[in-house]
Amino acid sequence: MKDIPGTQRSRSSADPIARTAPQVGAADRSAGRTERATLELRRLILSLVLRPGETLTERRLERVLGVSRSPVRQALAHLAQEGLVRRQGRSFSVAPIDLAELDELFAFRELLETAAVRGAARDPSRADLAEVDAALLDLDSDASPEERLDVTARLHLGLARAGGNRFVAEALAALFPRVTRARFLELTSPSTIERADEEHRRIVALVKEGRGEDAARAVADHLRQTRDNLLSSLERQAGVRGILGEPLA
């Protein structure tokens, strides 16, 4: 996607991200502008409006996000820490989706989440599962991909917090931005959604029954199946090299 030359073009020009990005309020102060610029830039990357490998110029982002250069630079730096943006010298680009990295991320998730459910099941009467129960109520097979990803993230993070180790929960939360972008690409059938929802409910039920080892096995099976579905979906989609941002090995 090329930068649009000139300064007289309106936000309704041919630039796709200009069409999708809302104006950021000029009255916001520096911290607010930076936060909103970061949120909006993250959304554009996660939803693949900005595609892997695409160059991110400060001038273009200033125009699209409606902020000055300082908030843009801070947003880019923040998203580089999350792994969504790649910095090379003084230039930035959208980080490619790395299949090997995704495999490693799911392996790390398995270590974290199995430990978390064991901890939560150790004394389920004292574990705070309110966040998990709320997420279960929000599971909806007809929800949009964005809504489903939000609900399932809340469920998994809720289980991690219920495990009682804040470092496990913080580590898991840090992984989600790196996984979410690829999940937008997953081709999910109604049967797959139904099976995933059943797996979520079973995991929570096992935790509440105090069956930590059974809950850990259920979490591991669920994550491995999710990983396999995701990697298979990415590999078989048309134009996958453009999606990944670099050639497959």
> Mean pLDDT across the chain, nearest whole number?
82
Q: Does 204 lie in the same domain as 152?
A: yes
Please tell me whether residue 198 adopts helix, strand or coil conformation.
helix
Q: Give the model's pLDDT for residue 100.
A: 84
| Residue 210 lies inside a defined structural domain of this protein | yes
pLDDT in the model for residue 220: 98
Q: What is the pLDDT of residue 36?
A: 92
134 and 227 both lie in a single domain: yes
Residue 44 sits in the same domain as residue 89: yes
What average pLDDT score do residues 136-153 get? 86
Distances (CA, A) of 81 to 7, 51, 178, 243: 31, 18, 11, 21
Residue 120 and residue 60 share a domain: no
242 HSE (CA, 13 A, CB side): 8
Taken in order 173, 206, 124, 152, the sign of the CA dihedral is: positive
Q: What is the pTM of this model?
A: 0.69
Average pLDDT of span 16-36? 63
Domain boundary residue, one of 94, 125, 143: 94
Task: Look at the alpha carbons of 187, 192, 198, 203 in this order and tell me if their dihedral is positive or negative.
Answer: negative
Question: 71: domain CATH number?
Answer: 1.10.10.10
Residues 236 and 164 in one domain: yes
pLDDT score at 96 = 85
In a domain, 8, yes or no: no
Domain identity same for 27 and 108: no
Range of the domain at 206: 99-244
Whether 87 and 145 share a structural domain: no
User: Are 78 and 104 found together in one domain?
Assistant: no
- Per the structure, the count of domains in the chain is 2
Q: Is the pLDDT of residue 194 over 80?
A: yes
- 128, pLDDT greater than 80: yes
At residue 14, the pLDDT reads 52
The reply to whether 142 falls in a domain is yes
Does one domain contain both 76 and 106? no
C-alpha to C-alpha distance for 114 and 159, rounded to whole angstroms: 10
Using the 3D structure, point to which of 34, 66, 94 is the last residue of a domain.
Answer: 94
Can you tell me the mean pLDDT for 21-42?
A: 72
> How far apart (Å, rounded) are the C-alpha atoms in residues 45 and 11?
19
C-alpha closest to that of 117 among 16, 8, 223, 13: 223
Helices and strands per DSSP (H, E), number in the chain = 11, 3
Average pLDDT over residues 20-45: 73
Last residue within a domain, chosen from 94, 128, 149:
94
User: What pLDDT, on the 0 to 100 scale, is given for residue 183?
Assistant: 72
Per-range mean pLDDT, top range of 15-24, 147-156, 239-248: 147-156
Write out pLDDT tens, residues 53-73.
Answer: 899 999 999 999 999 999 999
Which positions ≥6 away from 10 have C-beta within 8 Å? none
Residues 83 and 122 placed together within one structural domain of the fold: no
- pLDDT tens digit sequence for 104-117: 999 999 999 999 99
Domain containing 107 — which CATH number? Answer: 1.20.120.530
Asked if the structure places residue 4 within a domain, the reply is no
- Cα 24 from Cα 35, distance rounded (Å): 10
User: What radius of gyration, in Å, describes the C-alpha atoms of the chain?
Assistant: 20
Q: Are residues 105 and 73 in the same domain?
A: no
Whether 232 contacts 192, CB under 8 Å: no
Any domain includes 135: yes
